[in-house]
Structure 1
Amino acid sequence: CCGHIVLHCRRCVYILFCTAGAVFTLCVVPQVLCNTGGLTEIPIKSLPSTVEHLSLSKNHFPVIKSDAFAGLRGLKKLSLDANNISVIKPFAFRGLPRLRELSIQHTPLTTVAQFSFAGLQNITTILLGYNRIQRVEGYAFAGTSNVRLLYLKYNPLHRLESSAFSGLSNVERLLFPSGIRVVEPDAFTGLDTVGYLQLAFMDLPYLKPFTFRGLSHVHILGIHDSDLGVIRPGAFEGMTQIGVLSLKNNKIDAIQELSLRPANRIKVLTFRGNHLLETPRSGAVIIQGVEELNVIDNHFPCDCRIHTLLDSPLANDTTGIDFRSKNYCISPLEVNGKAMSDLDLDSIGRCQEQVTRGNLEASKGSAHSGGIETYLLSDSVIIVYLLAVLYNR
């Protein structure tokens, strides 16, 4: 017969699973719970090598040392929530080939240091939410793969540093907190094979050159609900094999350059619900090699540059949608919210034509004013001449 036995020993609860045989009874310890035990260090010497689920929540060890769990090769689930962890040393979780779920949440941890989560080959879930993480250093996850979820939400993480995710591969979902203010060049270099990379609720002054360089094999790259500031030249240069590039519900001050070329190998570009404060200049938008382009529900300035917009690649929606009927005006104020199809485009002159026409009108006005002054001067001379003649008589 089989059964469970619960043992309480040294602030921990050991749950034993025992199988009775004809000669002897075999017991293993699949689960150990050391929660609210007041431990000041990880009791590695007291833990059986057969443990599969280890919970060390609400204790008092501030440092997770390198190889802190060495010897627990059967460990599948590890919870370190609600501890006062402030430092995680490099390769802290090395030697855990069967670890599937790792949770470190509700701690004062401020920095994910280099190589702290390196070498986790078969882990499926890394939960790092609700901490005080402000930095993810380069190569923090190097060599870690097969992750279904890397969860970083609800941290004061305002800057994504270069190479922060280098060496991380085969990630189904990578979720960041809101409020990111700086994304450094090459922040995603070396990040390979991602199902869904979500960047939302950012507050950026600009999207820098080479922001996504080195990012490859992403099913969906979603940039949503953010203030992107100015999209600078080369922001998307160097990323490859993107299934869907989705820019939705963002505020964009200006697009200095949006260049997507065949080398990027983007299948679908969705540009939806964005508000642009300035129309991209002629040649600023280059979209080549994209199989499907969907541009809908955006708001653009409907000033003299609307003709430049309608001549740009953004207006070449490939889904059969009429660009003018499904995109709207953000300015001038009198046409705010109106569909572009409601405008009389012939009445809106092109910017260069307006400047030329204005210069011509100004020149004509000056010439006309000069002519009037000349005529007035001539009349005065004639009057003086006539008075002089009459006086002499």
Structure 2
Amino acid sequence: MLLSLAVALTSAALALAVAIPCPSQCICLSQAQVLCNTGGLTEIPVNKLPPTVEHLSLTKNHFPLIRSDAFNGLRYLKKLSLDGNNISVIRPFAFRGLPKLRELSIQHTPLTTVAQFAFAGLQNVTAILLGHNKIHKVEGYAFAGTSNVRLLMLNSNPLHRIETSAFSGLTVVEHLILPSGIKVIEPDAFSGLDSVGLIKLPYMDLSTLKGHTFRGLSHVHVLQIQDSDLGIIKPAAFEGMFHISSLKLLNNKIDSIVELKFTPDAKVRSLKLQGNHLLDTPAQGTISLEGLESIVVIHNHFPCDCHIHNLLEGPLANGSSAEFSANNFCISPLQYNGQTISSINLNAIGRCNDDISRDNWDAPASSSSTFVHRLLLAVTCSILFAR
């Protein structure tokens, strides 16, 4: 009886081995699940895999290049992992022909560029994980036609540049997580990105927030910019985005605001400015906050110079200069640094004379004292922000 049972099991195992094509470097747990981890593969053995595979792990092999249509024929594939490979190039439409793919993970690789159309045409993918690579650039239309991604993670990459239309084609994204250290965001970088839960932009190092940076971005629950050096906020930086439930600028350093304007047509519901350090007081008329249902401006630091009166009478104070003064601070002059605006004697600070224009105020050649004042202001803000 035992001998018969052993023979039967051996026969069943042999029959299963014959029924399931399996590369020698892989373990085929079933016709639906295949593991090819640390197998020393230099090419993707797509023709040797069972065509019914649903979960495929190809981690820690040696794939420097993912060619176009690299997985063509694996029409039942739902989950694909390429973590830990030496991938440096992903060709356009590399994952085309995978209609059921839901999750794609490419992490811990030397990949430097998310190239144009690299992830195009993934109509049913819900998660793309690209964390812990060497990505420093996302090219335009990299995700074209990939319309159902819920989670796109680019965390822990040295991403320095986001090109125009980099996220075009992505819709219904619940979370777009970007890494720290971004230095350039081109105009229209977020164009075509629609129906997003959260876009988080932390620890950027920008010289300017350019005009039309967010143009084409629509139906976002939270757009959060935090802990960044935003440099100069240029005119129309937030122009052209629509249906933003909440825009949050938190703990940033801002050299100056040339323009910050919202219209009722933009349908931005709420604006929160908290913990920011502004080197320069926005000029009169440069800020317009029309159509917002909620405006919160707290714990920010502003220069308490002759422009402070215009600030208290402007739209950031939202009709309550007393509340604004109690909840925001002075960054300069040095004797007022760190004090609430309400705690200083505003009557002792004269209004800027009509003959002293902002251009004259900013001109370093107008007087040595003005130059020294602005130099100290810049140094103070840098020290505080570094903390």
* TM-score category of the 2 structures, normalised to the smaller one: 0.7 to 0.9
Question: Which residue pairs with 1:326 in the alignment?
Answer: 327
Question: Can you give the 5+ residue segments of structure 2 that lack an aligned partner in the other structure?
Answer: 1-11, 358-387
> For 1:321 and 1:186, how far apart are their aligned partners in 2?
39
Question: Which residue pairs with 2:200 in the alignment?
Answer: 198
- Gap change, CA 1:90 and 1:308, over 3 Å in 2: same
Question: Which residue pairs with 2:239 in the alignment?
Answer: 237
Instruction: Check if 1:145 corresponds to 2:151.
Output: no
What secondary structure sits across from 1:196 in the alignment? strand
- Of 141-150 and 274-283, more deviation after overlay is shown by 141-150
- Of 120-129 and 219-228, more deviation after overlay is shown by 120-129
Check the 8 A contact 1:293/1:317 in 2, yes or no. Answer: no
Query: What letter matches 2:27 in structure 1?
Result: V
Check the 8 A contact 2:164/2:188 in 1, yes or no. Answer: yes
- Of 114-123 and 279-288, more deviation after overlay is shown by 114-123
Deviation (angstroms), 1:354: 9.2
Query: What letter matches 1:166 in structure 2?
Result: S
Instruction: Check if 1:291 corresponds to 2:293.
Output: yes
Deviations 1:161-219 (A, max 9, x none): 11111111111111111001111111111111111011110011111111111111111
Deviation (angstroms), 1:35: 0.6
Deviation (angstroms), 1:9: 5.1
Question: Which residue pairs with 1:336 in the alignment?
Answer: 337
Alignment of 1:239-318 (within 5 A): 239-316=241-318
Question: Which residue pairs with 1:65 in the alignment?
Answer: 67
Query: What letter matches 2:264 in structure 1?
Result: P
Question: Which residue pairs with 2:346 in the alignment?
Answer: 345
Alignment of 1:73-112 (within 5 A): 73-112=75-114
Deviations 1:128-163 (A, max 9, x none): 111111221110001112222101111121111111
> For 2:287 and 2:100, how far apart are their aligned partners in 1?
48
Check the 8 A contact 1:205/1:230 in 2, yes or no. Answer: yes
> For 1:61 and 1:98, how far apart are their aligned partners in 2?
23
Question: Which residue pairs with 2:365 in the alignment?
Answer: none
> For 1:294 and 1:323, how far apart are their aligned partners in 2?
9
Check the 8 A contact 1:294/1:317 in 2, yes or no. Answer: no
Question: Which residue pairs with 2:378 in the alignment?
Answer: none
What secondary structure sits across from 1:349 in the alignment? coil
Aligned-residue identity in percent: 64
- Gap change, CA 1:199 and 1:35, over 3 Å in 2: same
What secondary structure sits across from 1:322 in the alignment? helix
Query: What letter matches 2:252 in structure 1?
Result: N
Question: Which residue pairs with 1:386 in the alignment?
Answer: none
- Gap change, CA 1:140 and 1:15, over 3 Å in 2: same
Question: Can you give the 5+ residue segments of structure 1 that lack an aligned partner in the other structure?
Answer: 17-28, 357-393
> For 1:321 and 1:151, how far apart are their aligned partners in 2?
43
What secondary structure sits across from 2:134 in the alignment? coil
> For 1:11 and 1:167, how far apart are their aligned partners in 2?
37
Deviation (angstroms), 1:225: 0.5
- Which of the numbers 1, 8, 11 marks the counterpart of 2:25? 11
> For 1:321 and 1:246, how far apart are their aligned partners in 2?
23
Larger radius of gyration: 1
- Gap change, CA 1:317 and 1:123, over 3 Å in 2: farther
> For 2:328 and 2:136, how far apart are their aligned partners in 1?
38
> For 1:326 and 1:63, how far apart are their aligned partners in 2?
55
Query: What letter matches 2:347 in structure 1?
Result: D
- Gap change, CA 1:321 and 1:151, over 3 Å in 2: farther
- Gap change, CA 1:317 and 1:92, over 3 Å in 2: farther
Question: Which residue pairs with 1:162 in the alignment?
Answer: 164
Deviation (angstroms), 1:107: 1.1
What secondary structure sits across from 1:42 in the alignment? coil
Question: Which residue pairs with 1:121 in the alignment?
Answer: 123
Deviations 1:82-112 (A, max 9, x none): 1111111111111212211111011111111
What secondary structure sits across from 2:342 in the alignment? helix
Larger proportion of strand: 1
Question: Which residue pairs with 2:379 in the alignment?
Answer: none
Instruction: Check if 1:176 corresponds to 2:178.
Output: yes
Moved over 2 A (4+): 4-9, 353-356
Question: Which residue pairs with 2:229 in the alignment?
Answer: 227
> For 1:343 and 1:135, how far apart are their aligned partners in 2?
47
Check the 8 A contact 2:164/2:187 in 1, yes or no. Answer: yes
- Which of the numbers 214, 217, 220 marks the counterpart of 1:215? 217
Q: State the number of aligned residues.
A: 341
